């Protein structure tokens, strides 16, 4: 029987801890159809969501206890935000209001009874921005701490359905990534989601941010932007990691139409662990002997150097001049001879 045909639907409990709430705000940007229509049509029902549900206070703690006791079925536990283990492992940096109990202890109990456990956003997946710098709150992800498997629940954790934590990473995560992952789980017939090597749903990490980037012609010719608002490719000088970042941001639009590269700024690879500490200025490309250290995924360095050199020498004037302007100064129609 499909989950959507069950009397009470596919039940989701959503909790927020050491994050900014941005993944929920992003979820609200789901469009055509809107969030609640999408959930309803897939038979997905929130047991509780901190931003949307009517229940508050003791109604919520009673519900949480009923879930932990197995009286209420929990299909998917969604955790947004890092898990705050500090100070000194006590979890006191986030005590769930009204319960006198650290959120990490609630998450451990709930994850033990959930059929699926989902990390919503890079904070919950890998620790994210909350774990940056000296990591003052001992923040980690549900099953990762940066690139290292483990995190709060440990490497061996498997949810009721036998899966590791599903990492719907992104800072924020895209509403489509969350909803399609939940829908895949809710519609039993579609089976379990395909996960990549960091347990992220392959439905969006089978792509690179580079795919569909509107700046691809500039990339082809290595015609590079030099300052913010320039139209050129941002890989060479401005730290753009779109050729290495796994996500479909330039195929699946954000807010109807955009992406980071469309907004004029480089991809910082926010779906990846440890993106929050690149080891250099976010908006600068580290280089050795003039060659970027981070090369496009799958590309041998020698080929990159050869192709870049060839491409630069073949760059049309139109592309070269537009790359360092904030608007089109040479349109294709104006140029007939290529130089």
Residue 243 token pair: 């050729």
**For another protein, which residue of 5, 7, 54, 71 counts as binding (CB under 8 A)?**
54
Q: Which of residues 117-136 bind another protein (CB under 8 A)?
A: 129-130, 132-134, 136
For another protein, the closer CB: 34 or 192? 34
Q: Between residue 260 and residue 289, which ones bind another protein under the rule CB under 8 A? A: 260-265, 268, 270, 276, 281-283
> Is 184 in contact with 193 (CB distance < 8 Å)?
yes
At closest approach, how far in Å is the CB of 123 from another protein?
A: 9
Structure tokens at 191: 């089976």
Binding residue (CB under 8 A) for another protein from 8, 147, 155, 326: 326
User: Does residue 41 belong to the site contacting another protein (CB under 8 A)?
Assistant: no
Pick from 71, 156, 162, 257: which binds another protein (CB under 8 A)? Answer: 257
Q: Is the Cβ–Cβ distance between 140 and 82 less than 8 Å? A: yes
Q: Which two tokens stand for residue 259?
A: 């992406």
Count the Cβ atoms, other than its own, within 10 Å of residue 279.
Answer: 7
Residue with smaller CB distance to another protein, 58 or 147: 58
Residues 187-216 touching another protein, rule: CB under 8 A, are none
Q: How many whole angstroms separate alpha carbon 110 and alpha carbon 136?
A: 25
Tell whether residue 330 is a contact of another protein (CB under 8 A). no
**Of the two residues 61 and 148, which places its CB atom closer to another protein in the complex?**
61
Burial class (CB in 10 A: 0-12, 13-18, 19+), 108: middle
52 near another protein (CB under 8 A): yes
For position 31 contacting another protein by CB under 8 A, the verdict is: yes
DSSP-derived secondary structure for 208-242: BTTTT-TTHHHHHTT-B--STT--SBSTTTS---T
CB of 175 to another protein, least distance (A): 9
Cα separation, 151 vs 129, whole angstroms:
15
If the CB atoms of residues 27 and 308 are measured against another protein, the closer one turns out to be 27
* Residues between 91 and 110 that touch another protein (CB under 8 A): 92-99, 103
Number of residues that bind another protein (CB under 8 A): 83
Q: How many CB atoms lie within 10 A of CB 261?
A: 22
256 contributes a contact to another protein by CB under 8 A: yes
Q: Which is nearer to another protein, 57 or 300 (CB)?
A: 57
Peptide bond into 211 cis (omega under 30): no
Q: Which residues contact 160 (CB under 8 A, 6 or more apart)?
A: 113, 114, 115, 116
Q: Please give the residues from 70 up to 89 whose contact with another protein meets the rule CB under 8 A.
A: 84, 87
């Amino acid at each position: 029987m499909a989950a959507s045909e069950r009397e009470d639907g596919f039940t989701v409990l959503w909790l927020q801890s050491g994050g900014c709430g941005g993944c929920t705000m992003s979820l609200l940007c789901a469009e055509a159809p809107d969030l609640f229509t999408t959930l309803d049509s897939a038979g997905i029902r929130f047991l509780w969501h901190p931003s949307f549900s009517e229940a508050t206070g003791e109604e919520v703690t009673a519900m949480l206890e009923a879930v932990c006791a197995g009286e209420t079925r929990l299909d998917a536990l969604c955790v947004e935000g890092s898990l705050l283990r500090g100070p000194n492992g006590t979890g006191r940096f986030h005590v769930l209001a009204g319960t006198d109990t650290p959120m990490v202890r609630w998450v451990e109990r709930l994850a033990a009874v959930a059929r699926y456990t989902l990390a919503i956003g890079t904070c919950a997946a890998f620790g994210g921005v909350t774990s940056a710098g000296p990591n003052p709150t001992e923040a980690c992800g549900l099953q990762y701490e940066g690139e290292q498997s483990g995190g709060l629940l440990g490497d061996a954790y498997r949810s009721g359905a036998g899966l590791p934590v599903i990492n719907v990473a992104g800072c924020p995560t895209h509403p489509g990534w969350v909803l399609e992952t939940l829908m895949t789980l809710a519609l039993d017939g579609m089976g379990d989601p395909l996960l990549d090597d960091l347990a992220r749903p392959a439905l969006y990490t089978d792509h690179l941010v580079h795919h569909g980037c509107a700046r691809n012609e500039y990339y082809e010719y290595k015609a590079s932007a030099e300052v913010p608002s320039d139209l050129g490719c941002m890989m060479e000088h401005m730290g753009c990691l779109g050729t290495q970042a796994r996500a479909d941001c330039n195929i699946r639009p954000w807010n109807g139409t955009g992406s980071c590269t469309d907004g004029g700024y480089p991809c910082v690879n926010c779906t990846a662990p440890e993106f929050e500490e690149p080891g250099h200025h976010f908006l600068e490309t580290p280089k050795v002997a003039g060659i970027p250290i981070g090369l496009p995924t799958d590309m041998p360095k020698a080929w990159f150097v050869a192709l870049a050199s060839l491409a630069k020498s073949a760059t049309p004037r139109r592309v070269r001049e537009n790359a360092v302007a904030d608007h089109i100064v040479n349109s294709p129609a104006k140029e007939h001879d290529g130089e």
